[in-house]
Amino acid sequence: MDLGAVTKHSASHAKPNGLILQYGTAGFRTKAEHLDHVMFRMGLLAVLRSKQTKSTIGVMVTASHNPEEDNGVKLVDPLGEMLAPSWEEHATCLANAEEQDMQRVLIDISKKEAVNLQQDAFIVIGRDTRSSSEKLSQSVIDGVTVLGGQFHDYGLLTTPQLHYMVYCRNTSGRYGKATTEGYYQKLSKAFLELTKQASCSGDEYRSLKVDCANGIGALKLREMEHYFSQGLSVQLFNDGTKGKLNHLCGADFVKSHQKPPQGMEMKSNERCCSFDGDADRIVYYYHDAHGRFHLVDGDKIATLISSFLKELLLEVWWGDWLPCETRLIREIVPVYCTKTGVKHLHHKAQEFDIGVYFEANGHGTALFSTTVEMKIKQLAEELEDKKRKAAKMLESIIDLFNQAAGDAISDMLVIEAILALKGLTVQQWDALYTDLPNRQLKVKVADRRVISTTDAERQAVTPPGLQEAINDLVKKYKLSRAFVRPSGTEDVVRIYAEADSQESADSLAHEVSLAVFQLAGGIGERPQPGWMAGS
Ligand SMILES: CC(=O)N[C@H]1[C@@H](OP(=O)(O)O)O[C@H](CO)[C@@H](O)[C@@H]1O
Ligand SMILES: [Mg+2]
């Protein structure tokens, strides 16, 4: 490791004085102009991680649904997963090191993690469409090359595509070919295999309006659409030709404001969806005949997918072989909660033979264990008639899900296939169950770390008295719950409340936000009723 070269190069990627950043739930994220040094340093870190794991590591330059002026970076681990927690700490340490300490920090990390510095390193890099992303990804490359790492720069990619590339490269191509072409072919083939079983091919099921948040999703969907156009035609809105990235559009806007994105022409009962800025989230929605907006979010996506998988599994039913956990699917699909953040959900889902996870904001996928995958492949050959058909469908749906990360394009194709196969309209899907009215608010406090939580962030441990106050407020409303937690991506405290009516949910959320303001050191304006509603 040529540490002299590190010092020389890091001087041209200088850290702004006094800037402290943390590798949070989504990597580093802040104003793009403050990130050059972080990119360079993440290039260095990726090389160490690659040497340690003897695998290809990914670096994605994106700030997802944040405004255009922001940017960010996250590292992708060997199996396409989020970076391991101990390395998140190293990332924070390296990003905040003063220039003169860089060498020491790099040596420390290498020692702690037993990195063999003689080992080769290979890094793949992707970036979103932000104007700052190209230059920032060059800084990543600088970091990689200074430490002697090899790299492949994929250029523009969705975040889940980069996760896919990493996974493919580390599984010797068994998962798929590590090219965008390979990704398009794998997913489209699975989608067409699945949908050819659909009896209803009426127009209603075969066209979809997609709001691409003026981001990378538009470019990639355009490249991909002719691969699957036999089964689905997509009409793209907010494709980046006019509007600003994530501005009044995209999955995050639609979910948090509960209204359609700007620039989308919606007719009543038409099925529409939105991606976020790096295309790892998707939400669906429609206007009913009375012009009322209905959001079909991650919870409903998870329900649609798990009930479909359950049906297929019951059809195939392989009796005695079925493992205990899966056996439960006969009655019910067990549900677990984790802390916020896809990495927590992903790891929980991996504990099962089949794990379906989604955040309400539309980030998620389904994971299948190797045992299940092998068994299904075998059954698809051995079984006959209806059972064989169901096994084949399971085989295709496994291929259609991105096993490395939540993926808007892959999820969209899964959902479209299921709706077509089941002959469901978006309204019928929406009616699978009724959500309790809910409200999300955010409150600014001086230091959001004063709030600590337990029980998958459903109980506040500190500050003293806050949980008791919430409990008392919740008792005033029927069918109610409320949670508070510090955000992992913004300097705010998030409040969630639900109750038997929208009015009650709003009022409970407001009362809880007042309690947070009082007990957790609120700053600025005191929360007003209806204040920041929908934020
Ligand atoms: C309400 C909401 O959408 N929260 C998002 C957001 O986290 P916060 O901790 O709420 O800021 O970003 C996370 C990372 O992308 C994502 O996992 C999470 O679901
Ligand atoms: Mg995203």
SS (H, E, C) 53-115: HCCEEEEEECCCCCCCCEEEEEEECCCCCECCHHHHHHHHHHHHCCHHHHHHHHHHHHHHCCC
The closest ligand to the CA of 344 turns out to be 1
Which residues, 6 or more positions from 224, have their beta carbon under 8 angstroms from its beta carbon?
184, 187, 188, 409
Could you say which of 64, 137, 306, 507 is catalytic?
A: 64
User: Do the beta carbons of residue 129 and residue 62 sit within 8 Å?
Assistant: no
The atom number, within ligand 1, closest to the CA of 252 reads 3
Peptide bond into 16 cis (omega under 30): no
Residue 27 gets the label, from left (phi > 0), alpha (psi -120 to 50) or beta, of left
Within 150-236, residue ranges assigned H as helices are: 159-170, 180-195, 203-206, 216-228
CA 361 to ligand 1 centroid distance, Å: 8
Catalytic residue at 64? yes
User: pLDDT 10s per residue in the chain (535 long)?
Assistant: 777 888 888 989 999 999 999 998 889 999 999 999 999 999 999 999 999 999 999 999 999 999 999 999 999 999 999 999 999 999 999 999 999 999 999 999 999 999 999 999 999 999 999 999 999 999 999 999 999 999 999 999 999 999 999 999 999 989 999 999 999 999 999 999 999 877 654 545 589 999 999 999 999 999 999 999 999 999 999 999 999 999 999 999 999 888 999 999 899 999 999 999 999 999 999 999 999 999 999 999 999 999 999 999 988 875 545 554 444 444 557 889 999 988 899 999 999 999 999 999 999 999 999 999 999 999 999 988 889 999 999 999 999 999 999 999 999 999 999 999 999 999 999 999 888 999 999 999 999 999 999 999 999 999 999 999 999 999 999 999 999 999 988 889 999 999 999 999 999 999 999 999 999 999 998 888 865 444 4
Looking at residue 190, what is its pLDDT? 97
In which residue are the tokens 């309204």 written?
427
CA–CA separation, 253 and 535 (whole Å): 9
In which residue are the tokens 């990619």 written?
157
CA–CA separation, 405 and 376 (whole Å): 22
Looking at residue 533, what is its pLDDT? 43
Which residues, 6 or more positions from 495, have their beta carbon under 8 angstroms from its beta carbon?
440, 441, 442, 443, 482, 483, 484, 509, 512, 513, 516
User: Taking CA 140 as the corner, what is the angle to CA 405 and CA 79, rounded to the nearest 5 degrees?
Assistant: 25
CA–CA separation, 114 and 118 (whole Å): 12
Distance set, CA 422 to CA 110, 121, 302, 305, 389 (Å): 53, 47, 16, 11, 14
The pair of three-digit structure tokens given for residue 436, joined into one six-digit string:
């309790």
Closest C-alpha among 221, 233, 249 to residue 416: 233
Looking at residue 318, what is its pLDDT? 56
Residue to probe by mutation, ligand 1, list 23, 25, 483, most atoms within 8 Å of CB = 25
Total residue count of the chain as it appears in this document: 535
CA–CA separation, 92 and 24 (whole Å): 9
Distance set, CA 209 to CA 234, 260, 275, 350, 476 (Å): 6, 12, 11, 32, 42
User: Do the beta carbons of residue 129 and residue 245 sit within 8 Å?
Assistant: yes
Chain-centroid distance of CA 492 in Å reads: 20
Beta bridge partners of 66: none
In which residue are the tokens 């009044």 written?
248
SS (H, E, C) 428-470: HHHCCCCCCCEEEEEECECCHHHCEEECCCCEEEECCCHHHHH
The one-character DSSP state at 57 is E
Which residues, 6 or more positions from 61, have their beta carbon under 8 angstroms from its beta carbon?
39, 71, 72, 73, 125, 126, 127, 128, 133, 136, 137, 140
Residue to probe by mutation, ligand 1, list 487, 495, 532, most atoms within 8 Å of CB = 487
- The answer, yes or no, to whether ipTM is higher than 0.90 is yes
CA–CA separation, 33 and 407 (whole Å): 28
CA–CA separation, 296 and 299 (whole Å): 8
The closest ligand to the CA of 250 turns out to be 2
Angle subtended by helix axes 385-400 and 370-382, to nearest 10: 140
Pairing of strands 150-156, 122-127: parallel
Beta bridge partners of 73: 28, 61
User: Residue of the nearest CA to atom 8 in ligand 1?
Assistant: 487
In which residue are the tokens 């949980």 written?
467
Looking at residue 322, what is its pLDDT? 52
User: Residue of the nearest CA to atom 2 in ligand 1?
Assistant: 361
User: Do the beta carbons of residue 261 and residue 274 sit within 8 Å?
Assistant: yes
Pocket of ligand 1 (CB under 6 A): 25-26, 340-342, 359, 361, 487-490, 494
Map residue 113 onto helix, strand or coil: coil
Pairing of strands 452-454, 438-443: unpaired
The pair of three-digit structure tokens given for residue 48, joined into one six-digit string:
């160490």
User: Do the beta carbons of residue 369 and residue 391 sit within 8 Å?
Assistant: no
Looking at residue 327, what is its pLDDT? 47
Looking at residue 256, what is its pLDDT? 87
Closest C-alpha among 180, 227, 228, 253 to residue 237: 253
CA–CA separation, 415 and 302 (whole Å): 10
